Amino acid sequence: MKELAEILLSSETIAARVKELGAEITTDYQGKEIIIIGILKGALPFMADLIREINIPLKYDLMAVSSYGVSTKTSGAVQILKDIEMGIEGEHVLVVEDIIDTGLTLNYLVGNLLSRKPASLKICTLLDKPSRREVEIFPQYNGFTIPDRFVVGYGLDYAERFRHLPMIGVLKPEVYEKK
C-alpha cells in the first residue's frame, strides 16, 4: 500500500500475540466470569480476535470514547459517545483498547468505570506507546510496545481510513501532513 512507509507488525505476528494474551487472561481469571469492554472503533478487530482466544465465561459490551476527531493528536477533551449497556458493579472488568498513547483518554475512562464499583478492572491493549505518555497508566496486558510513529491498520485509523488492514503499518507523514 503506497501510503505506508513500512509494515511494523504482520498479521501473523499479531495473531500469535493475541493467542498468547488470550491464554494469559484465561489463566489469570480462571474460575471467574469477566466482562470485556471494547473501546470503539479501533479495538473492535483486536477484541473480536481476543475473545475467541479466552477460554472462560465472558460477556462483552462496547463503549465509544473520543478525544481525537480527525486529528493525529488528542484534543484532551474526552467524550463518551456510546456507553456500556450492562452494569459492572461487583464484576471483573477487562477494558480492551487498541493503543495507549498519551493515556489521557484511557485515564478518564478508567476513572469513569471505577466509579461504577467493579470487583476488579484491568486493561488490555494491543499497542503501547509509553514515550508519549502524559499520565501514569499501565496496562496489565500489553500486546506490543511500539515507538512514537503514526500507525494504522488492524482497527487503527487515520480519518477513518486504513482500519481494515490486517497488519499494523506506519503511515507516511505526507499522508497526514497534507495542508
State how far Cα 130 lies from the chain centre: 14
- Of the pLDDT bands very low, low, confident and very high (cuts 50, 70, 90), residue 78 is confident
- Within a domain: residue 178? no
Q: Answer whether 40's CB lies under 8 Å from 63's CB.
A: yes
In a domain, 165, yes or no: no
Confidence of residue 17 (pLDDT cuts 50, 70, 90): very high
Does 177 reside within a domain?
no
pLDDT score recorded for residue 97: 97
| 101 carries an active-site annotation | yes
Lateral strand order in the sheet of 151-152: 4-9, 168-171, 151-152
CA distance 156 to 147: 15
pLDDT for position 1: 84
Query: What is the mean predicted confidence (pLDDT) over 143-154?
Result: 97
In a domain, 169, yes or no: no
pLDDT at 72 over 60: no
Lowest mean pLDDT among 7-11, 30-34, 58-62, 72-76: 72-76
Give me the number of domains the chain comprises.
Answer: 1
Show the cell assigned to 40: 470503539
Quote the mean pLDDT of the chain.
93
The x, y and z cell numbers of residue 157, run together, are 485509523
The pLDDT > 90 percentage for the chain reads 87
In a domain, 127, yes or no: yes
- The domain that holds 100 is classified in CATH as 3.40.50.2020
Which pLDDT belongs to residue 73?
59
**pLDDT tens digits, residue range 35-70?**
999 999 999 999 999 999 999 999 999 999 877 555
**Three-state secondary-structure class, residue 33:** coil
CA distance 45 to 82: 18
Name the nearest CA neighbour of 70 among 175, 168, 159.
159
Q: For residue 115, what is its C-alpha cell?
A: 466509579
Position 5 in a domain: no
**Looking at 101, 128, 148, 157, which residue is catalytic?**
101
The angle formed by the CA atoms of residues 39, 52 and 60, to the nearest 5 degrees, is 40
Structural domain that includes position 133: 11-146
pLDDT for 90-123, tens place per residue? 999 999 999 999 999 899 999 999 999 999 999 9
Report yes or no on 151 lying in a domain. Answer: no
* Position 159 in a domain: no
